[in-house]
Amino acid sequence: MNESDAIDPSRRDALVFGRDLLLGGAAARWAGPSPAQAATANDPQAPVTVKLTLRVNGTAKSLALDTRTTLLDALREHLHLTGTKKGCDHGQCGACTVIAGGRRINACLSLAVMHDGDEITTIEGLGAPGHLHPMQAAFVRHDAYQCGYCTPGQICSSVAMLEELRRGIPSHAGADVAAAPTATPDELRERMSGNICRCGAYSNIIDAIGEVAGVRT
Amino acid sequence: MKFDTPATKNPIDRLAVVGQPVDRIDGPLKTTGTARYAYEHHDAVAHPAYGYVVGAGIAKGTIRSMDLADAKASPGVLAIVTADNAGPLGKGDKNTALLLGGPKIEHYHQAIALVVAESFEQARSAARRIHVDYAREPGAFDLARARDSAVKPGTGKPDSAVGDFDGAFAAAAVKLDATYTTPDQSHAMMEPHASTALWDGDKLVIWTSNQMVAWGVADVAKTLGIPKEKVHLMSPFIGGGFGGKLFVRADAILAALGARAAKRPVKVALPRPLMFNNTTHRPATIQRIRLGATREGKLTAIAHESWSGDLPGGKPETAVDQTRLLYAGANRMTALRLAELDLAEANAMRAPGEAPGLMALEIAIDEMAQKLGIDPIQFRIANDTQVDPEHPERPFSKRRLIDCLNVGAEKFGWKARNPRPASTRDGRWLAGLGVAAAFRNNLVTKSGARVRLGKDGIVTVETDMTDIGTGSYTIIAQTAAEMMGVPLHRVVVRLGDSDYPVSSGSGGQWGGNSSTAGVYAACTKLREAVVAKLGLAGEAEFVDGRVRAGGRDVALADAAKGGELVAEDAMEYGDLAERYQQSTFGAHFVEVRVDAATGETRVKRMLAVCAAGRILNPKTARSQVIGAMTMGVGAALSEHLVVDRNAGFFVNHDLAGYEVPVHADIPHLDVVFLDETDPMSSPMKAKGIAELGICGVAAAVANAIHHATGIRVRDYPITLDKLLDRLPPSTDA
Ligand code: FES
Ligand code: FES
């Protein structure tokens, strides 16, 4: 992999973008009361909560969650793993794609309580600046994003999608459902069509995925 | 620094970093989910409360009463903000309707309340327990019906006329008189409008998703009735805007009001189904185009009239603007007319004016070429102009439309095209090739920046410029690296913060050129400070982290040994934009397949050739163009906010109903940039590119469909129902 100085993540590590990181640091500068302070245990109005454990990116996370909490909000609002994005909250855009038990799912369409004990892989679990997953590095090289908001979903989706191809799961784009599917550009496009990119990086995304899959697009 | 004479040789021309296709410097953050967007500042704000927006359930009328009791009693609710209890609110200069409605309702899904609760689930649940009693009033929702009541708008230059259009059109040997329609469209950016707000004493701190930081500060202050100095607004990452985040929207104002009421930091994101009717959209247009030409194919008469609608006090879609500049022709007129409609606010979306204008004009040009029996590329070339047709003494600074068309024709294999429509079959598919010209004006605007040279030799740029996916972080870093003679990884870029110097912001494809020109100005000042500090004499060269002048060769970092050097400046513009018409040009080529039985259109190949000044980063610029081409395909084939003309709202207000292109709709896209510099635009010699890319795309698709099928559809989007009953008889039936 030939990365230029410009994207050498180890060098870029030191650099920050925007003012937010300057304000942050170890503790947040502004804080509301913690939920524990806000609600008492015997409050009859308190929401119905359930204790559960999510195994996120290899680490067990125990949570007590309102049963209405989606897997997406559990990740974003409770575990502060905001790499997984909320684009629609209705299963219409793919921005919230995570890998649960090896399968890609829309985290907004799944309640957290349905995943007690499940292995969840989010974008943060695939790689970090300085240690990019090959798919993340390919996205950078191919400029397979613009605003970046659909990007974690595209990357999680594509990693799981290539696995589906390897397992021989057929798609509508294949001529023969009984034959082993191959990573043709049309197969990749069909299988990625649940992930909308309004910035319109599709052409580059398919190039990036194709490179990782070892096919010409 | 003032830019009032054409650029000459300057440090950017070295092109050691600028002009190189470097990867985005924010790429590792975006691809790992570590770039923080407006709703995600957990590092700075712990335990925020959650706000959920309630939108009006009618399009026009008043709220008779609002019963908040159930909602207030709901678990976890901390506060409910309504127009009744929010205190006096102003209206932002850039807003047409109020961001918090009530009792008067101006459009469907206008925000009428914010419920603030401990959790998102609690806020959402309580929001559904607000009971509203409305008094509904009839409204106008149908542009076609309102067309006759449309008036000449009071702002801008709605009309233009040169020569004698009526006489020339009457006398023309070949004429076209056709009417086209474009539908309401939505930006549908992937990140919903979102804000996190808190009050630090009387000061509002707000992270929001906004393209224009300084406009945002001004309108937040004006709406809340507080001084601008009391607003600290940050927008470091923006999940797409396309014009939909040019202005402060309800999420920002309601987050601020909610935080005040709940005495807690509050965050608010617009629920996706609310966005389409709550925020702005590109309005529908009806466009009448008349063209007159000689039999040899010279245009003698050009008229373009456009009708659009907006709320009272709104503005027209300037769909005729490009027609004033794109083709020669001695006799011409354009007119904009504006109807009052009670739909959500109409406003700018990627290439406002030109995008819908060219959707019509470039079909009309294709139709005229067909009438004349002339190749559509040759027809465009024959009617090229190198001067502003309304003011022939005013030349274009650079205009290489002909080169774009010729280079594209060659690369796309245009010569092999059989000019006869519906002449090419590919199995069950009808094949067609279409072309359209791309045109978008280049705007330059004042932009400032601050540059710091640290003791460690790191160059830090601060400006309130935003990166909405355009690549601002990267091209600004490239500019500073080039100016200061350091490698890219020695530059830090900080954007999107109202504490930083005011920039151009991102809009109208002015941001790339304008903001880097501002960085150029600040770096020029920093270079002077470095030279003075080092006691150098004569012309200095900044290369490889060193400064060379008068036979001396010193490390750049030495200048900051005694302390950081800071320089701040802005680039301002003289009258070059008045003396020279500055525009960007391109040509779009499209190959389609239309299913001979079902009328389904598939885009097979696309090419854009662009002439837009110096390309600061060919990799990110190409992304801008392919993104715009993709949006253009949506405009051609599927995007359509469907109006409920009785109830008065956009029916398909989510991402399942409003169909934007997905992976399966878009083939590999090709882009060619002509090698060009424009010394009239700025010292960067660059121009805009992000909007040029969408201009003309939809018409090129429409023209390709016509070439494939022989069917001329003048009403977008070109869905299969508009082709089905006119498809050529199937040969194998
Ligand atoms: S946020 Fe889950 S599909 Fe859109
Ligand atoms: S990168 Fe912006 S939506 Fe895909």
Q: CB–CB of B668 and A204 under 8 A?
A: no
| Residues of chain B contacting A197 with CB distance shorter than 8 Å | 190
Question: Which residue from A216, A215, A3 is spatially nearest to A129, judged by alpha carbons?
Answer: A3
Answer whether residue A53 is part of any domain.
Answer: yes
Domain C-terminal end among A126, A144, A170: A126
Question: Which residue from B271, B261, B314, B288 is spatially nearest to B107, judged by alpha carbons?
Answer: B314
pLDDT at B408 over 90: yes
Give the chain B residue whose CA is nearest to the CA of A28. Answer: B44
- C-alpha A106/C-alpha A98 separation (Å) is 7
Mean pLDDT, rounded, for B611-625:
98
- Asked if residue A169 has its Cβ within 6 Å of ligand 1, the reply is no
Q: CB–CB of B494 and A19 under 8 A?
A: yes
Q: Are B213 and B232 in contact (CB under 8 A)?
A: no
| Residues of chain B contacting A77 with CB distance shorter than 8 Å | 119-120
Q: CB–CB of A199 and B663 under 8 A?
A: no
- Asked if residue A86 has its Cβ within 6 Å of ligand 1, the reply is yes
Q: Which of residues 128-147 of A touch B (CB under 8 A)?
A: 128-130, 132, 136-137, 139-141, 143, 145-147
Of ligand 1's atoms, which has the minimum distance to the CA of residue A92? Answer: 3
Q: CB–CB of B76 and A15 under 8 A?
A: no
Closest C-alpha to ligand 2, atom 3: A197
A109 and A148 fall within a common domain: no
**Does residue A199 sit at the B interface (CB-CB below 8 Å)?**
yes
Sheet holding B429-441, edge to edge: B425-426, B429-441, B583-595, B601-611, B669-673
pLDDT at A36 over 80: no
The beta-strand segments (E) located in B398-481 are 425-426, 429-441, 447-453, 459-462
**Does residue A203 sit at the B interface (CB-CB below 8 Å)?**
yes
- C-alpha A206/C-alpha A191 separation (Å) is 11
Separation of B189 CA from ligand 2 center, angstroms? 8
pLDDT at A10 over 50: no
Mean pLDDT, rounded, for A199-209:
98
pLDDT > 90 fraction of chain B, expressed in percent and rounded: 98
Give the chain A residue whose CA is nearest to the CA of B205. Answer: A30
Residue B691 catalytic? Answer: yes
* Residue pLDDT, tens place only, B49-68: 999 999 999 999 999 999 99
Q: B293 pairs with which residues across the strands?
A: B174, B299
Number of structural domains found in chain A: 2
- What is the DSSP-derived secondary structure letter of residue B721? G
Answer whether residue A182 is part of any domain.
Answer: yes
Q: Which ligand is nearest to the CA of B467?
A: 2
Confidence of residue A174 (pLDDT cuts 50, 70, 90): confident
- φ and ψ at B704, to 5 degrees? -70, -40
A142 and A94 fall within a common domain: no
Helix %, strand %, coil % for chain B, to 5? 30, 30, 45
Q: CB–CB of B27 and A16 under 8 A?
A: no
Separation of A97 CA from ligand 1 center, angstroms? 7
**Does residue A155 sit at the B interface (CB-CB below 8 Å)?**
yes
Q: CB–CB of A32 and B265 under 8 A?
A: yes
- What is the DSSP-derived secondary structure letter of residue B94? T
pLDDT at B395 over 70: yes
* Residue pLDDT, tens place only, B409-452: 999 999 999 999 999 999 999 999 999 999 999 999 999 999 99
Confidence of residue A1 (pLDDT cuts 50, 70, 90): very low
**What is the sign of the dihedral through the CA atoms of B131, B133, B137 and B138?**
positive
- Asked if residue A53 has its Cβ within 6 Å of ligand 1, the reply is no
Q: Report the CATH number that the domain containing residue A111 is assigned in CATH.
A: 3.10.20.30
Size of interface A-B (CB pairs under 8 A): 312
Q: CB–CB of B630 and A192 under 8 A?
A: no
For residue B26, the distance in angstroms to the closest alpha carbon of chain A comes to: 8
pLDDT at B398 over 80: yes
**What is the sign of the dihedral through the CA atoms of A120, A121, A122 and A128?**
positive
- C-alpha B188/C-alpha B53 separation (Å) is 18
- What is the DSSP-derived secondary structure letter of residue B11? G
Residue B621: the pLDDT is 98
Separation of B133 CA from ligand 1 center, angstroms? 32
Q: CB–CB of A88 and B272 under 8 A?
A: yes
Determine the residue among B25, B32, B652 to mutate to test chain A binding: the one whose Cβ has the most chain A Cβ atoms within 10 Å. Answer: B32
Q: Are A145 and A201 in contact (CB under 8 A)?
A: yes
- C-alpha B100/C-alpha B106 separation (Å) is 10
Token pair for B196: 């996190």
Determine the residue among A2, A198, A211, A212 to mutate to test chain B binding: the one whose Cβ has the most chain B Cβ atoms within 10 Å. Answer: A198
- φ and ψ at B420, to 5 degrees? -70, 125
Distance of CA B65 to the CA centre of its chain: 39
* Residue pLDDT, tens place only, B458-507: 999 999 999 999 999 999 999 999 999 999 999 999 999 999 999 999 99
Separation of B145 CA from ligand 1 center, angstroms? 37
Indicate which residue of B317, B354, B367, B691 is catalytic: B691
**Does residue A76 sit at the B interface (CB-CB below 8 Å)?**
yes
Alpha helix locations (H) across B47-103?
A: 69-72
Q: Which ligand is nearest to the CA of A93?
A: 1
Mean pLDDT, rounded, for B603-630:
98
Mean pLDDT, rounded, for B623-631:
98
Closest C-alpha to ligand 1, atom 3: A91
Q: Provide the mean pLDDT of chain A.
A: 86
Residue B538: the pLDDT is 87
* Residue pLDDT, tens place only, B693-727: 999 999 999 999 999 999 999 999 999 999 999 99
Q: Which among B49, B205, B661 has CB closest to A32?
A: B49
- Asked if residue A93 has its Cβ within 6 Å of ligand 1, the reply is yes
Residues A48-73 as b/e (b if ≥16 CB within 10 A, e otherwise) read eeeebebbbbeeebebebbebbbbbb
Q: Which domains does chain B have, with CATH numbers?
A: 2-35+444-577 (3.30.365.10), 49-138+194-271 (3.30.365.10), 394-442+582-726 (3.30.365.10)
Residue A4: the pLDDT is 35
| Residues of chain A contacting B667 with CB distance shorter than 8 Å | 203
Residue A35: the pLDDT is 59
Which of A147, A156, A157, A158 should be mutated for ligand 2, with most atoms under 8 A from CB?
A: A147
Give the chain B residue whose CA is nearest to the CA of A195. Answer: B662
Answer whether residue A17 is part of any domain.
Answer: no
A154 and A97 fall within a common domain: no
Terminal C-alpha separation, chain B? 71
Q: Which residues contact B588 (CB under 8 A, 6 or more apart)?
A: B408, B435, B436, B437, B438, B606, B607, B608, B629, B632, B696, B697, B699, B700
Q: CB–CB of A143 and B619 under 8 A?
A: yes
Residue A214: the pLDDT is 93
Q: Residue A215: is it exposed, middle or buried by C-beta count within 10 angstroms (0-12/13-18/19+)?
A: middle
Answer whether residue A14 is part of any domain.
Answer: no
A80 and A141 fall within a common domain: no
Q: A111 pairs with which residues across the strands?
A: A70
Q: Residue B692: is it exposed, middle or buried by C-beta count within 10 angstroms (0-12/13-18/19+)?
A: buried
Which of A70, A73, A82, A96 should be mutated for ligand 1, with most atoms under 8 A from CB?
A: A96
- C-alpha B297/C-alpha B374 separation (Å) is 7
- Asked if residue A106 has its Cβ within 6 Å of ligand 1, the reply is yes
Q: CB–CB of B272 and A89 under 8 A?
A: yes
The beta-strand segments (E) located in B429-564 are 429-441, 447-453, 459-462, 491-494, 541-543, 546-549, 552-555
- Asked if residue A181 has its Cβ within 6 Å of ligand 1, the reply is no
Residues B440-460 as b/e (b if ≥16 CB within 10 A, e otherwise) read bbbbbbbbbbbbbbbeebbbb
- Asked if residue A140 has its Cβ within 6 Å of ligand 1, the reply is no
Q: Provide the mean pLDDT of chain B.
A: 97
| Residues of chain B contacting A215 with CB distance shorter than 8 Å | none
Which of B24, B187, B190, B624 should be mutated for ligand 2, with most atoms under 8 A from CB?
A: B190
A94 and A120 fall within a common domain: yes
Answer whether residue A34 is part of any domain.
Answer: no
A138 and A120 fall within a common domain: no
Alpha-carbon distances of B596 from B203, B368, B418, B605, rounded to whole Å: 63, 26, 18, 19
**B548 Rama class: left (phi>0) / alpha (psi -120 to 50) / beta:** beta
Residue B732: the pLDDT is 52
Give the chain B residue whose CA is nearest to the CA of A49. Answer: B121
Answer whether residue A36 is part of any domain.
Answer: no
Supply the range of the domain harboring residue A167. 134-213
DSSP SS3 for B716? coil
Separation of B369 CA from ligand 2 center, angstroms? 38
Which of A76, A88, A157 should be mutated for ligand 1, with most atoms under 8 A from CB?
A: A88
Mean pLDDT, rounded, for B348-361:
98
Predicted complex ipTM: 0.98
- φ and ψ at A92, to 5 degrees? -115, -5
Answer whether residue A20 is part of any domain.
Answer: no
A110 and A175 fall within a common domain: no
pTM (global) more than 0.80: yes
- What is the DSSP-derived secondary structure letter of residue A42? T
Residue A61: the pLDDT is 98
Q: Using only the alpha carbons of chain B, give its radius of gyration.
A: 27
Separation of B624 CA from ligand 2 center, angstroms? 11
Residue B246: the pLDDT is 98
Domain C-terminal end among A68, A96, A126: A126
Residue B155: the pLDDT is 86
Answer whether residue A92 is part of any domain.
Answer: yes
Domain C-terminal end among A70, A102, A126: A126
Q: Residue B4: is it exposed, middle or buried by C-beta count within 10 angstroms (0-12/13-18/19+)?
A: exposed
Q: CB–CB of A95 and B24 under 8 A?
A: no
A161 and A189 fall within a common domain: yes
Q: CB–CB of B489 and A128 under 8 A?
A: no
- C-alpha B698/C-alpha B691 separation (Å) is 13
Residue A19: the pLDDT is 38
Q: Are B324 and B389 in contact (CB under 8 A)?
A: yes
